[in-house]
A and B are shown apart, each in its own frame.
Chain A
Amino acid sequence: MAFFPCFLSVVFVVRNQADGLEGMLCEATEVIASMVSDYELIIVDNASSDDSVAQLKRLTAEDGVANLQVYALTKEVDLDTASWVGLENALGDYAVVLDPLADDIAFLPNMLEHAARGADVVFVCNTEHTPQPLLYRFAFKLFHRAYRWCNGIHLVKDAPQFRLLTKKVINFILQHPKPTMIYRHLPATGGFARTCLTYSAPPKAQPRKHLGESVDRGIRMLVSSTRAPMRLVTALSLFGAVMNLLYCAYVVGIALFKTDVAAGWISLSLQESGMFFLISLVLLVLGEYILNMASFSGDGPLYYIGQEFTSCRMTRLEKLNVEDAAPVISMARAWGGERAS
């Protein structure tokens, strides 16, 4: 097996898997230990209600599993947030996040190989999914359509949760004020060198997902990652305002050129369209301000410098400290020429 001289952090997010923990960690150790020069297994316990924490305590003892780092959360959070808890504290040059129930650790060497070849982000997509109820599948499709329309990526295919990130990607995410919200999509949308791999393995039994929670999370993800829906709202407001203004003109036209108009129609119509024009205008302005505020509060750094290099030669250093009359004149000419053009 290939050997990678690096420090690898592997983040496991677990919940109520007390029985499987030891086997899972031993398996992971077996895969990783001989492959990298140093590693750590970070276990984020997502507020298990069984005796997972006690098991983990036992496993960290002297005769337990080596290189464990455990973070036990007090309250259950979504998978992305829990993954981020581990990533934020990861020490490795590379960090891998996996959900032991859904993802296969045996695929790790493959991921490392791509990382060693220069990928900053390696995504791995399992083509097989746990079956979910019809309504969930429908909402799932709808969300991903909407997300793709807004952000240009399909979250499941382009930014799956089983992933390897280099330290620099983690550091970039850390610079954002709300890292947990952007953690899911930024590695894919941040412009880093990324590879997307697929494999097919039946996932282990996974708990049923709740539609209500998923909808809530989906809406938050949509709202936090894109301005498109809000822009749609402001565009509609603008449309409403313009249409009401046109309607006002229409009513005035009717009043001027028609005589058989029912009493009160003109004043009522003018009042209504005028009010709606004003309301639409107010909504438009408010919406734009909200958008602006959201961009201020949610935005991290706007750019990331992937690489930088400097020319070997510096002409400044090659210059002699000699006053020469001729070049000065030619320079003035060049400047003059520039100004003229």
Chain B
Amino acid sequence: MISNSAPCHEAIIIGGGFYGSAIAIHLARQRGFKRIVLLEREGGLLRRASYNNQARVHNGYHYPRSFTTAYRSRVNLPRFVADWPQAVKRDFTKLYAIARHNSKVTARQFERFCRDIGAQIRRADSAAHALFEPRLIEEVFQVQEYAFDATQLARWAVQELEACGVQVRLLTRATEIYQGADHTLQVVTDSEGGPQRLSCRYLFNCTYSGSNHLNGDFPGLDTDLRHEITEMALMQMPPALEGLGVTVMDGPFFSMMPFPSRDLHTLSHVRFTPHVQWDDDKSINPYDKLARHERSSRVERMVRDVGRYIPAILDSRHRDSLYEVKTVLAKNDRNDGRPILFEKHASLPGCYSVLGGKIDNIYEVLEKLDNEVF
């Protein structure tokens, strides 16, 4: 048990998701930090938003309206595949289909955009076209995009953190942050053993949806956040759609991707995946809100709508649904860009908040960290 007079840690990272774990490992390996503590409120690493998502390793195709996000995805994908080959699933065909009506891009624009960012794209073969309803789909492209297995990433994180000597505290929640003496920061944690106080030199807030929900001297983020409770349906696909990922662009459409850690497919629909949305508010704790949310699945609606575009999906079976709070920067709610948020809190020197929407954006975070002088 660590008391108030315990020795000061070099860094504390709040949040044992993919970003938190990767930052801890990076600090230990690249920046030579010795005493690092990683706090995680769940019983294991990468259990929340890092797991409960579409498991897509982006390659830019998804963001025809946000060139920077798309281009950075292009740059990051090869690195991600090289660094975590064991976690990347590549043995499936990924199709992007452009809807004929109500799409914000046309097939021609999409093709041009992909060539501009240097992403591989070609017209899909007739077998792939046959899956789609031609009156609703303008064109189908075959692209190169992968899925990741979050359980493999978690395994990697556990091994690496142990190898680096990072102290991982599970089932521990950070509640308050204070400015301490001698440029130290104090973190109050809550776990089974009751509240404790840890002190450190540097603090990284990687809690994603909980980023603003720390008390004490923590000033909160300068950037406005927006949350939504999302439902990701896990489906057993019929043989015709096995080994296939499909995204229909660009508007109120849907996406299905293999979900390697459960050997199923995720199905998400722009119209039905978000159940509730709200602007970040100190009085609404996203985790509590998710816990209280009645999880009435909307999968039937999703399948009905998707069935209009891809009739084969009507033979799929719903196995489970993942519910999670998804957090984006309020200004990106409309334009589809997904930049990471890297905030250095001026009133709390040494305290950083990091929030990102995509797993492969980790490289941007690490690059930002490399520019910091510790």
* Residues of A bordering B, CB below 8 Å: 7, 38, 40, 62, 69, 91, 174-175
* Residues of B bordering A, CB below 8 Å: 135, 271, 276, 278, 300-301, 304-305
Chain A residues contacting B276 (CB-CB under 8 Å) are 62
A62-B276, A174-B135, A175-B135 given as contacts; is B304 within 8 A of A69 (CB)? no
Q: Is the CB of B135 within 8 A of A7?
A: no
Chain B residues contacting A69 (CB-CB under 8 Å) are 271
Q: How far is the CA of A69 from the CA of B33 in the complex (A)?
A: 52
Chain A residues contacting B135 (CB-CB under 8 Å) are 174-175
Distance to closest chain A CB from B278 (angstroms):
8
Distance to closest chain B CB from A116 (angstroms):
19
Q: How far is the CA of A7 from the CA of B304 in the complex (A)?
A: 10
Chain B residues contacting A62 (CB-CB under 8 Å) are 276, 278
A177 to B, closest residue via Cβ: B135
Chain A residues contacting B304 (CB-CB under 8 Å) are 7, 91
Chain B residues contacting A175 (CB-CB under 8 Å) are 135
Q: How far is the CA of A254 from the CA of B135 in the complex (A)?
A: 64
Distance to closest chain A CB from B313 (angstroms):
13
Q: How far is the CA of A69 from the CA of B304 in the complex (A)?
A: 15
Distance to closest chain A CB from B15 (angstroms):
27
A37 to B, closest residue via Cβ: B300
Indicate the member of B276, B278, B304 with the most A CB atoms within 10 Å.
B304
A62-B276, A174-B135 given as contacts; is B300 within 8 A of A7 (CB)? yes
Q: How far is the CA of A107 from the CA of B304 in the complex (A)?
A: 27
Q: How far is the CA of A7 from the CA of B278 in the complex (A)?
A: 28
A176 to B, closest residue via Cβ: B135
B101 to A, closest residue via Cβ: A88
Distance to closest chain B CB from A182 (angstroms):
15
Q: What are 12 residue pairs bridging A and B, where the CB atoms are less than 8 Å apart in the complex?
A: A7-B300, A7-B304, A38-B300, A40-B301, A62-B276, A62-B278, A69-B271, A91-B301, A91-B304, A91-B305, A174-B135, A175-B135
Indicate the member of B276, B278, B300, B301 with the most A CB atoms within 10 Å.
B301
Q: How far is the CA of A340 from the CA of B252 in the complex (A)?
A: 66
Q: How far is the CA of A299 from the CA of B169 in the complex (A)?
A: 69
Q: How far is the CA of A7 from the CA of B300 in the complex (A)?
A: 10
Distance to closest chain B CB from A198 (angstroms):
32
B278 to A, closest residue via Cβ: A62
The 9 lowest CB-CB distance pairs between A and B, nearest first, are A91-B304, A62-B276, A91-B301, A91-B305, A38-B300, A174-B135, A175-B135, A7-B304, A7-B300
Q: How far is the CA of A38 from the CA of B276 in the complex (A)?
A: 19
Q: How far is the CA of A250 from the CA of B202 in the complex (A)?
A: 111
Known: A38-B300, A91-B304. 6 other contacts (CB 8 A): A7-B300, A7-B304, A40-B301, A62-B276, A62-B278, A175-B135
Chain A residues contacting B301 (CB-CB under 8 Å) are 40, 91
A92 to B, closest residue via Cβ: B304
Chain A residues contacting B278 (CB-CB under 8 Å) are 62
Chain A residues contacting B271 (CB-CB under 8 Å) are 69
Q: How far is the CA of A175 from the CA of B135 in the complex (A)?
A: 8
Q: How far is the CA of A199 from the CA of B262 in the complex (A)?
A: 55
A89 to B, closest residue via Cβ: B305
Q: How far is the CA of A40 from the CA of B300 in the complex (A)?
A: 12
Q: How far is the CA of A62 from the CA of B301 in the complex (A)?
A: 19
Q: How far is the CA of A47 from the CA of B300 in the complex (A)?
A: 30
Q: How far is the CA of A191 from the CA of B301 in the complex (A)?
A: 29
Q: How far is the CA of A7 from the CA of B301 in the complex (A)?
A: 9
Distance to closest chain A CB from B38 (angstroms):
34
Q: How far is the CA of A62 from the CA of B300 in the complex (A)?
A: 20
Distance to closest chain B CB from A69 (angstroms):
7
Q: How far is the CA of A341 from the CA of B135 in the complex (A)?
A: 49
Distance to closest chain B CB from A302 (angstroms):
17
Distance to closest chain A CB from B104 (angstroms):
15
Distance to closest chain A CB from B87 (angstroms):
36
Indicate the member of A40, A62, A69 with the most B CB atoms within 10 Å.
A62
Q: How far is the CA of A175 from the CA of B304 in the complex (A)?
A: 18
Chain B residues contacting A40 (CB-CB under 8 Å) are 301
Chain A residues contacting B305 (CB-CB under 8 Å) are 91
Q: How far is the CA of A62 from the CA of B304 in the complex (A)?
A: 24
Distance to closest chain A CB from B288 (angstroms):
14
Distance to closest chain A CB from B44 (angstroms):
31
Distance to closest chain A CB from B33 (angstroms):
43
A69 to B, closest residue via Cβ: B271
Distance to closest chain A CB from B151 (angstroms):
33
B300 to A, closest residue via Cβ: A38
A38 to B, closest residue via Cβ: B300
Distance to closest chain B CB from A304 (angstroms):
15
Q: How far is the CA of A38 from the CA of B135 in the complex (A)?
A: 27
Distance to closest chain A CB from B309 (angstroms):
12
Q: How far is the CA of A62 from the CA of B271 in the complex (A)?
A: 15
Chain B residues contacting A91 (CB-CB under 8 Å) are 301, 304-305
Q: How far is the CA of A175 from the CA of B300 in the complex (A)?
A: 24
Q: How far is the CA of A175 from the CA of B133 in the complex (A)?
A: 11
Distance to closest chain A CB from B302 (angstroms):
9
Q: How far is the CA of A69 from the CA of B305 in the complex (A)?
A: 13
Q: How far is the CA of A175 from the CA of B136 in the complex (A)?
A: 10
Chain B residues contacting A7 (CB-CB under 8 Å) are 300, 304
Q: How far is the CA of A180 from the CA of B71 in the complex (A)?
A: 41
Q: How far is the CA of A40 from the CA of B305 in the complex (A)?
A: 13
Q: How far is the CA of A69 from the CA of B298 in the complex (A)?
A: 13
Distance to closest chain A CB from B280 (angstroms):
15
Q: How far is the CA of A38 from the CA of B302 in the complex (A)?
A: 13
Q: How far is the CA of A105 from the CA of B271 in the complex (A)?
A: 26
A91 to B, closest residue via Cβ: B304
Q: How far is the CA of A245 from the CA of B338 in the complex (A)?
A: 77
Q: How far is the CA of A175 from the CA of B305 in the complex (A)?
A: 17
Q: How far is the CA of A91 from the CA of B304 in the complex (A)?
A: 6
Q: How far is the CA of A7 from the CA of B271 in the complex (A)?
A: 17
Chain B residues contacting A174 (CB-CB under 8 Å) are 135
Q: How far is the CA of A223 from the CA of B144 in the complex (A)?
A: 49
